[in-house]
Amino acid sequence: MIGIVLAAGEGTRMRPLTKTRPKVLLPVADRRLIDFSIEAMERIGVEHLVVVVEYLADKVKRYVKNRWGDSFDLEFVRQGKPMGTAHAVYVAWREIEPDETVVITNGDLVFDPELLERAVREHEGVASMVLVEVEDPSEFGVARLQDGYVVELVEKPKPEEAPSNLANAGVYVAEPEFERFLERVTPSPRGEFEITDALLDAATEKGVRGVSYDGFWSDVGRPWDLLDANAWALRNAMWRPEVEGIIEENVELRGPVWVAEGAILRSGVVVEGPAYIGPGCEIGPNCYLRPATTLVRDVRIGQAVEIKNSIIMEGTNVSHLSYVGDSVIGAKCNLGAGTIIANLRHDGRSVKVIVKGELEDTGRRKFGAVLGDGVKTGINTSILPGRKLGPYSATAPSTIVRKNVPEGKMLVQGDQILVDWKGRG
């Protein structure tokens, strides 16, 4: 079998995190998003792996080569101008000219490898696609099945027009003759070449198998999805807990906790698992790490800091007497002493976040902040729930962040006065 992983997109709904990194390299527990698809490919016996790249392509190529170069015959294909999923698959298809079964996944999915195993096991005919039940089908390609085969497929329908709640999971198995259905795709009203059009064409002429899956699956479309995926991975996708770092006296580890080589936990630290503490991290003294927390690498957590259900990326420093709850913090940030990231609205309603200019309901009572790379907060900064701080932005001391802070700006007063910030680099 040949594997194709689609990893070319920008992931604009994940801003500001994807301003400086490809979406597929966002961290989840001890790995990156793209690793879930690649691990599953390895498990089903794929030997030739093709990764379609474009946005920040060199970063994706470098990571995949370093982590997976010994496991596959690797090949990278540039998509060029992003023109939809069918276009991305077709670019790879023309490059490899397959004469055997091809397994295709989006590179930003988190799922149990059993999903891909089932897709291959139940595959029939020219193509098969995995389908999962979702609450809001309007964001996905939605299928209607009859006797296990796709008879209707609509891309991002209005809620009242959705033929079912079975969403396209972004996982496909196809035979070489599927190429001609890719070739016949024309631009959609959105101006993209949609793979759902190729699948519907194939379903009409040849039949497309719909493989239903009811286990964990997430396409990690927004920052809060990353937290859900991280919590699931820590509980379900890790090896037996290992403690390889230095643990001082009076440290308490509760439940499954992974402490990587080179990490140090100072006296008085309490960690409630599941939690992952990566290489080179230094925690404490007297810190409290609560469940579903991931510290990626070289993270410094100062005296009397509390972290809950958060992802903190490489080289970030959280200074003493700070609190980070239900948040995603980018790389090389510096949170000044006494920085408080609130994660609960005062009125108890679910937290809303601006995504691509629109206010979206996270559906979560608790959600904190999203910080891009290189953010610096002044001492005693308070960040209200659902706020975003762009890469290399900053706050002055004793600031309350009530609105999003754009990239490269400093918030200098509570009523949102912004100035250019020269702290980058």
Six token digits for residue 160: 């009242």
Give CA–CA dist 334/425, Å, rounded. 13
* Beta-carbon count within 10 A of 236 CB: 12
Distance of CA 1 to the CA centre of its chain: 26
| Three-state SS letters, 280-334 | CCEECCCCEECCCEEECCCCEECCCCEEECCEECCCCEECCCCEEECCEECCCCE
Q: Pick the catalytic residue from 87, 123, 320, 346.
A: 320
Indicate if 320 belongs to the active site: yes
The β-bridge relationship of strands 217-218 and 110-111 is antiparallel
Burial of 354 (0-12, 13-18, 19+ CB in 10 A): middle
Beta-bridge partner residues of 371: 329, 389
CA angle 215, 220, 222 (to 5 degrees): 140
- Burial class (CB within 10 angstroms; exposed 0-12, middle 13-18, buried 19+) of 17: buried
Instruction: Please state, in angstroms and rounded to a whole number, the distance separating the CA atoms of residues 214 and 13.
Output: 25
Q: Could you tell me what percentage of the chain is helix, strand and coil, using 3-state DSSP and rounding each to the nearest 5?
A: 20, 35, 45
At 65 the three-state DSSP class reads helix
292 dihedral zone (left: phi>0; alpha: psi -120 to 50; beta)? left
For residue 36, give the 3-state DSSP assignment: helix
Q: Which residues are catalytic?
A: 320
